[in-house]
Each structure stands twice: as structure tokens, then as C-alpha cells.
């Protein structure tokens, strides 16, 4: 676990930034990141919302020196003041020095006070503006200043693209990543917090795997209670839980304490569409969406965009049909895992849910009986199964979902990760189908890097109550 500041960039923004700062001419280049400030408990997150690329011709560039043009800095200050954003002055070290030089420190002493003097922040967060360096390969080291010019290292710079790239302030060799399935992997996972939305068929298995893999913090959100019909799908649940109508999240809390007493666990007995749940979710680094509702996926989509969190979404379905003789038969056994990177193709873009399906679900909620039947039929549409025995399929899908995280953090695929934005499997024909990020028509996100801006997630239903 960690408490230091985090700077988060989407993969698309990082790629543009890297292209500008490292143009292969061996000279330093500069840019300014405009970041949303998000206070998550004791931790500060800066979400890179936009940037100003400083034209090469407007600054004196050398191999180990760059002169910042005042006009560009003032342009960035004007933009930042409008939305109360933090500014991060970033330049390249093409020679590979992964430290702030004396020249960098002197430059900051001249420029950073001007930023504080010109921006009248309405935020209670005072340590907001800073500087950063990028070295060949794209690694970033950053630091923040308060208005007394005291520095604080940015503990983690996280880049969520096709790969998940983590640059720690203590790294000496930032381009060297741990190998998957090693103790080094476990130690790094121990610094991250994952959110699991939905603790049922796939969610309970996902949470179990994350805990045993070494994740440092786990937030589990589910409003529901254990029923007898859940016992064949929710691992660690018992008949006593069903009889006492125990909260599903309490089942996890009890179970995980027996094998990961060091795990920082927060269990939220609430629906994800509640304001308090979303505020807790903002603290996570990663989202695992394990819900069976359209609204749940919509909220996870919105959180991933607003908080710059990658979303891993998992689903299972076993469609059936009735033959001419009236006998039910299985049409297929399907599982799906989607990796949604901030600023990329959303679950809506991919057709996992739609405006129409959201409306239909909302209408169904007005008839609780009909809605309950709809949810029960989620695994096996066409069959009247109250407690489908699908744990084997859930295990396979949930395992693929957590494995997707490992593949993104510690790349091992021969063809890279870009081709695996969506993975589908069908057990009838034994086939796996992979879809690339570029195959989806992407719509522009309405709330990218908005953080905790009100109304929360852009939804009036999540507004702060008077």
C-alpha cells in the first residue's frame, strides 16, 4: 500500500507526450501537463487531463538544458485557473539521466513561484504544482511543490494504455519490469489497490485471486445478501451465511482474514450507483467489474473515465433453446473479458450495454418480481434455473480476467497487448476470439479525467446532498 502522491496518464496522452519530448534529435524538449486534483483520503491523485506541447522553435534547446518560454507557461496558467487544475512542467532528459539535475532545480526555483503567484486556487490542496522529467523509453519521474517551495516526490506515475506502466519514485532502472508470477510481481502488486464491483459468481472468484496474488488493497462493493441459491457460486459462503442472510462482502472479509491478514480490505455494503460507494471507489488503481446489471457496467465505465482507472469487465452466459420435441439444449457456453483503458473504447462503444438496455433495465426495476426473474435468468437465458451450477465457467472467466491484469502489467504476449482489448471464449467449439482496441469505433468520453468534479461522474443522481 502507499500514501504518496500519484500522477496518472492515459496511454494515448503518454504516447503523444513521449513523441514530442523525445524527437530523436538528442535535444531536450518541454511540455506542460494540466491535471485534475483528486484527494482520496490521505492520498493525492493528479489526473492528466490535457497538455500544452511547447514548440521546439520557441525555446532554447540543448542536450542538457532547456529554457522555458514565458508565454507558453502563462497560456497553461490561464487554462489551469479556469478549472482549478495543477500544472506539471515536464521536459526530457535524452541522455537518460533519471534524476533532477541542478539545472532543473534552479529552473523550478524561478518558474514554480510564478505559477503559485498567478493561480488563485479554490482547492484546499496546497501541494499541487510540480515538475517532471522523461527519459528514453517513456519513464517519468515527478515531484510536487507547495507554496513554500517544499518538494514531495510523486510516489507513482501510472500510465494506462495497452500496457500498464508503473514508474516508482524509488526506481533506479525504471524500464526494467518484474517478471510475471515472481516474488517481484507480488511485491509490486502489494503497492496497488483493486476495486471489485459485485461479489457473486465471478466477483468472489476474482477477489480471491487478487488477494492470493498479492494485491495490497482490495475494495469490494456489493449491496446484496447471501441466499441458498448462491451457495454453488460464491466461494467461501456457507449455509449459515444463507440462513442468517449475511452480507456478501462480509463473507469475503471473514474469509480473506484467514489467509491475508495483512491485506487492506474495505467492504462496502452498497450498490455502486450510490454516491458513497463511488467516492470509495475513487481510491482504487484498478477496477474489476463483475456485475450482472447494465447500470453497474455503466457506472464502472464512467468511473474508469473520470478517475483514469483501467476497467476489467467479465461476463458469462449459457444460452439455451427448446428443440422441437420440447427438450432444452445448450446453444453455447460463453465467457467474455474486456480491458478498457482510460480514453479508449468504452463498454458502451463495444456494445456490452446500450442506452436502450439501460432504459429497459430501469423499467424492469419498477416491477421487482420481473426484475428478479431477469437477473436470475442472466446466466442461462431461456431456462428457468434459480441456481445454475456455473462455477466452472465462472472460474474460467474470472481467471482470464485477473490474468489480463498480469499480462498488461508484466507483458509476455508474443504479439503484444493491443490485440486483446476483448477476449471471448466458447466452450462448445473450443474457440477463443480476440478483438483489438482499434477494431472498436470510439466515442469521445464526456468526463475524461474529471475526477470528483460535481455532479459526480456527471450524473445528477450522484450529486452532493444539501
Q: pLDDT 10s digit of each residue in the chain, 466 long?
A: 688 999 999 999 999 999 999 999 999 999 999 999 999 888 899 999 999 999 999 999 999 999 999 889 999 999 998 889 999 999 999 999 999 999 999 999 999 999 998 887 666 566 689 999 999 999 999 999 998 899 999 999 999 999 999 999 999 899 999 999 999 999 999 999 999 999 999 999 999 999 999 999 999 999 999 999 999 999 999 999 999 999 999 999 999 999 999 999 999 999 999 999 999 999 999 999 999 899 999 999 999 999 999 999 999 998 888 888 878 888 899 999 999 999 999 999 999 999 988 888 887 777 766 655 555 556 666 656 666 788 999 999 999 999 999 999 999 999 999 999 999 999 999 999 999 999 999 998 999 999 999 999 999 999 987 7
Strand partners, 91: 30, 133
Backbone angles phi, psi at 418, to 5 degrees: -60, -25
As a whole number of angstroms, the distance between CA 170 and CA 193 comes to 19
Contact in structure between 118 and 74 (CB atoms under 8 Å): yes
Q: What do you get for the CA distance between the two ends of the chain, in Å?
A: 34
> Three cell numbers at 117?
503567484
Q: List Cβ neighbours of 67 (8 Å cut-off, separation of 6 or more).
A: 59, 60
Contact in structure between 284 and 195 (CB atoms under 8 Å): yes
Give how far the C-alpha of residue 359 lies from the chain's centroid of Cα atoms, to the nearest Å: 26
Contact in structure between 104 and 133 (CB atoms under 8 Å): yes
In this predicted structure, what is the pLDDT of residue 400? Answer: 98
For domain 6-168, the CATH architecture is 3-Layer(aba) Sandwich (3.40)
Contact in structure between 152 and 144 (CB atoms under 8 Å): yes
As a whole number of angstroms, the distance between CA 317 and CA 437 comes to 23
Q: How far is CA 269 from each of CA 166, 220, 266, 442, 461, rounded to the nearest angstrom?
A: 31, 8, 10, 34, 19
Burial state string for 255-274 with b = 16 or more CB within 10 A and e = fewer than 16 = bbeeebeebebbbbbbbbbb
As a whole number of angstroms, the distance between CA 207 and CA 115 comes to 43
**Grid coordinates 463473507 are at which residue?**
251
Q: How far is CA 412 from each of CA 60, 166, 403, rounded to the nearest angstrom?
A: 41, 16, 11
Strand partners, 139: none
Q: List Cβ neighbours of 77 (8 Å cut-off, separation of 6 or more).
A: 87, 115, 118, 119
For residue 400, give the nearest of 423, 383, 384, 379 by alpha carbon: 423
In this predicted structure, what is the pLDDT of residue 383? Answer: 59
For domain 183-458, the CATH architecture is 3-Layer(aba) Sandwich (3.40)
- Whole-model pTM: value is 0.95
For residue 80, give the nearest of 119, 108, 43 by alpha carbon: 119
Helix H, strand E, coil C: the string for the chain is CCCCCEEEEEHHHHHHHHHHHCCCCCCCCEEEEEEEEEEECCEEEEEEEEEEECCHHHCCEECCEECCCHHHHHHHHHHHHHHCCEEEEEEECCCCCCCCCHHHHHHHHHHHHHHHHHCCCCCCCCCCEEEEEECCCCCEEEEEECCCCCEEECCEEEEECCCEEEEECCCCCCCCCCCCCCHHHHHHHCCCEEEEECCCCCHHHHHHHHHHHCCCEEEEECCCECCHHHCCCCCCCCHHHHHHCCEHHHHHHHHHCCCCCCCEEEEECCCCCCHHHHHHHCCCCEEEECCCCHHHHHHHHHHHHHCCCCEEEEEEECCEEECCCCCEEECCCEEEEEEECCCCCCCCCCCCCCHHHHHHHHHHHCCHHHHHHHHHCCCCCCCCCCCCCCHHHHHHHHHHHHHHHHHHHCCCCCCCCHHHCEEEEECCCCEEEEECHHHCCCCCCCCCCCCCCCCHHHCHHHCCCC
In this predicted structure, what is the pLDDT of residue 328? Answer: 84
**Grid coordinates 470509495 are at which residue?**
280
As a whole number of angstroms, the distance between CA 125 and CA 163 comes to 31
Domain boundaries, the chain: 6-168, 183-458
Amino acid at each position: 500500500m502507499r500514501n504518496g502522491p500519484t500522477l496518472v496518464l492515459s496511454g494515448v496522452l503518454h504516447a503523444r507526450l513521449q513523441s514530442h519530448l523525445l524527437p530523436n534529435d538528442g535535444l531536450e524538449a518541454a511540455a506542460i501537463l494540466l491535471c485534475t486534483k483528486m484527494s482520496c483520503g490521505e492520498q493525492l491523485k493528479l489526473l492528466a487531463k490535457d497538455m500544452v506541447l511547447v514548440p521546439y522553435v520557441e525555446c532554447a534547446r540543448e542536450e542538457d538544458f532547456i529554457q522555458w518560454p514565458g508565454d507558453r507557461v502563462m497560456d497553461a496558467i490561464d487554462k489551469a485557473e479556469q478549472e482549478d487544475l495543477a500544472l506539471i512542467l515536464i521536459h526530457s532528459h535524452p541522455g537518460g539521466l533519471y534524476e533532477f539535475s541542478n539545472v532543473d532545480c534552479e529552473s523550478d526555483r524561478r518558474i514554480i513561484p510564478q505559477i503559485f503567484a498567478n493561480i488563485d486556487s479554490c482547492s484546499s490542496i496546497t501541494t499541487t504544482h510540480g515538475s517532471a522529467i522523461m527519459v528514453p523509453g517513456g519513464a517519468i519521474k515527478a515531484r510536487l511543490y507547495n507554496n513554500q517551495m517544499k518538494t514531495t516526490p510523486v510516489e507513482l506515475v501510472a500510465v494506462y494504455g495497452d500496457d500498464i506502466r508503473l514508474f516508482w519514485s524509488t526506481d533506479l532502472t525504471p524500464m526494467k519490469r518484474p517478471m510475471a508470477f515472481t516474488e517481484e510481481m507480488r511485491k509490486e502488486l502489494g503497492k496497488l489497490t483493486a476495486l471489485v464491483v459485485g461479489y457473486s459468481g465471478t466477483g468472489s472468484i476474482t477477489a480471491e485471486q487478487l488477494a492470493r496474488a498479492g494485491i495490497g488493497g482490495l475494495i469490494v462493493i456489493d449491496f446484496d445478501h447471501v441466499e441458498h441459491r448462491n451457495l454453488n457460486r460464491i466461494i467461501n459462503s456457507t449455509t449459515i451465511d444463507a440462513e442468517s442472510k449475511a452480507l456478501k462482502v462480509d463473507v469475503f472479509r471473514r474469509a480473506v482474514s484467514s489467509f491475508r491478514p495483512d491485506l487492506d480490505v474495505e467492504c462496502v455494503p452498497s450498490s455502486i450507483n450510490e454516491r458513497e460507494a463511488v467516492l470509495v471507489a475513487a481510491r482504487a488503481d484498478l477496477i474489476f467489474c463483475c456485475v450482472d446489471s447494465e447500470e453497474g457496467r455503466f457506472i464502472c465505465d464512467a468511473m474508469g473515465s473520470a478517475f483514469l482507472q483501467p476497467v476489467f469487465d467479465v461476463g458469462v452466459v449459457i444460452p439455451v433453446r427448446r428443440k422441437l420435441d420440447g427438450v432444452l439444449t445448450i446453444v453455447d457456453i460463453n465467457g467474455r473479458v474486456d480491458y478498457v483503458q482510460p480514453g479508449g473504447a468504452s463498454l458502451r462503444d463495444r456494445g456490452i450495454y446500450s442506452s436502450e438496455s439501460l432504459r429497459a433495465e430501469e423499467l424492469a426495476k419498477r416491477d421487482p418480481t420481473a426484475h428478479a426473474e431477469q437477473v436470475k435468468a442472466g446466466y442461462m437465458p431461456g431456462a428457468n434455473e434459480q441456481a445454475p451450477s456455473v462455477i466452472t465457467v465462472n472460474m474460467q472467466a474470472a481467471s482470464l480476467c485477473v490474468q489480463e491484469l498480469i499480462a498488461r502489467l508484466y507483458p509476455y504476449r508474443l504479439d503484444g497487448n493491443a490485440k486483446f482489448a476483448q477476449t471471448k471464449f466458447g466452450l462448445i467449439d473450443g474457440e477463443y476470439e480476440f478483438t483489438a482496441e482499434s477494431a472498436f469505433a470510439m466515442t469521445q468520453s464526456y468526463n475524461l479525467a474529471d475526477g470528483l468534479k460535481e455532479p459526480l461522474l456527471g450524473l445528477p443522481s450522484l450529486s452532493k446532498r444539501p
